Structure 1
Amino acid sequence: MTDFTTRPLAPGTWKDFERVMGSNGGARGCWCMHWRLPFKEWQAGAGDGNRDALRTRSAQRPPPGLVCYLDDKPVGWVGIGARPEYPRLRRSPVTKALDTTPVWVINCLFVRRDHRHRGLQTKMITAACGFAAEHGQHTVEGFPVDPAPGRTAGADNAMTGIASAFREAGFTEVARRRKDRPAMRRTVGGT
């Protein structure tokens, strides 16, 4: 049996995060900066610029997400934080705010290629919800892809997670602004 654990991204876990993201920084040099920066700035920083920006952010509080481990080997990343930290979410008709509820958003789920298709996303989502609750949050939101039956999501589309994993982690669909993109929420605690 493998032991699944997580650790907040911080200077002490940065090297593990780099191992998870690989030399490409996840997808297209993103380094989990896609939702944090205007598109042109994100694109211009692809690679080293985005990596350096998240490294700087990783030294701040609260941490920007969790590095995920199987038997102490880094295998995944889940980015989560307060909605205002992700200005690009506001501009998308799919991910804009549903209402005025203060939420933390799971914005990125990345599993190393050699550990995919093992059901890790549900564990990662559940861990992120616990992390949010530990930081006094009450509501967590996600905008995963929901592929048609018999289809799989492409890597770029799946960066926000797969809807079935969110359902398994206790999320409920609260809106659907595009046929393959449900808005999902889960109450996690806090005040």
Structure 2
Amino acid sequence: MADDDATPPPLRVIPAAEAPFGDVERVFGTRGDPASCWCQWYKIPGADWRGVGKDALRDRLEAQIAESGPGPGLLAYEGDEPVGWAAVEPRPRLPRLRTRRIVKSGTTQPDLDDESVWAVTCFVVPREHRGRGVATELARAAVDAARAGGATVVEAYAVDPTTGAKKSAAELFPGTVSMYAAAGFAEVARPTASRVVMQVSFER
């Protein structure tokens, strides 16, 4: 008989390039926002977004993972089961961030062409794996990935769910203030009551 009280295996986080793309697909699923975006929202200009279908978005992410160089994300495993994704890579690769109010009014790194500034922009954790600290562990791993990739700063655009109306799970995809704080990020600006720029800086 299975032991219902058995401790789940520790989480393991690896670069998405080291994982089968089928595992990435399992995390993103086939319904909902992740399967409609594939972490391409910040990479495609608004005028072009509507013309790109879901299959093309998935193919774009698969090609980005296969490219040499840092990013675009990390995959978390519980045992052999993929349980979460985090998008982290150099900020200049995310052109839509240039127009976002939270970046323009909140970053302490205004050179948006600086490849040494990395950004964490999205988390995907399937419903059945939530509440286990998967996103926090991915945030910690994102710091390590940015440091290993030569970043001077890794930046995140957190949601503060304690302010304003209750936030839906879909609204929390950038990550929460408490989650980033647990991963070592510090608040550097609060452009709005519920959106916070948080950073980890690396000494060189």
Same-fold call, TM > 0.5? yes
Offset at residue 155 of structure 1 (A) = 2.9
Corresponding position: 1:81 with 2:89: yes
* 1:16 alignment partner in structure 2: 23
CA RMSD of aligned residues (A): 2.1
* 2:108 alignment partner in structure 1: 98
Are the aligned partners of 2:71 and 2:90 in contact in 1 as well (CA < 8 Å)? Answer: no
- Amino acid in the other structure paired with 1:131: A
In structure 1, distance between residues paired with 2:148 and 2:18: 20
Secondary structure of the residue aligned to 2:159 is coil
Percent identical across equivalent pairs?
35
Offset at residue 176 of structure 1 (A) = 0.8
1:100-159 per-residue CA deviation (whole Å, 9 max, x = no partner) reads 464100011111110112222211100111111111212111001101269653233211
Corresponding position: 1:50 with 2:87: no
When the two structures are superposed, what TM-score results if normalisation uses the length of structure 2? 0.85
Say which structure is richer in helix.
2
In structure 2, distance between residues paired with 1:153 and 1:44: 29
In structure 2, distance between residues paired with 1:71 and 1:11: 15
Are the aligned partners of 1:139 and 1:186 in contact in 2 as well (CA < 8 Å)? Answer: yes
Secondary structure of the residue aligned to 2:121 is strand
Residues 1:154 and 1:139: Cα distance change in structure 2 (over 3 Å): same
Secondary structure of the residue aligned to 1:143 is strand
Offset at residue 46 of structure 1 (A) = 4.1
Secondary structure of the residue aligned to 1:174 is strand
Question: For structure 1, which segment, 142-151 or 105-114, has the greater mean C-alpha deviation from structure 2 after superposition?
Answer: 142-151
Give the alignment of 1:175-190 within 5 angstroms: 175-188=189-202
Question: For structure 1, which segment, 175-184 or 134-143, has the greater mean C-alpha deviation from structure 2 after superposition?
Answer: 134-143
Q: Residue 141 of structure 1: which of 150, 155, 158 is its match?
A: 155
Residues 1:79 and 1:53: Cα distance change in structure 2 (over 3 Å): same
Which protein has the larger Cα radius of gyration, Structure 1 or Structure 2?
A: 2
Are the aligned partners of 1:143 and 1:182 in contact in 2 as well (CA < 8 Å)? Answer: yes
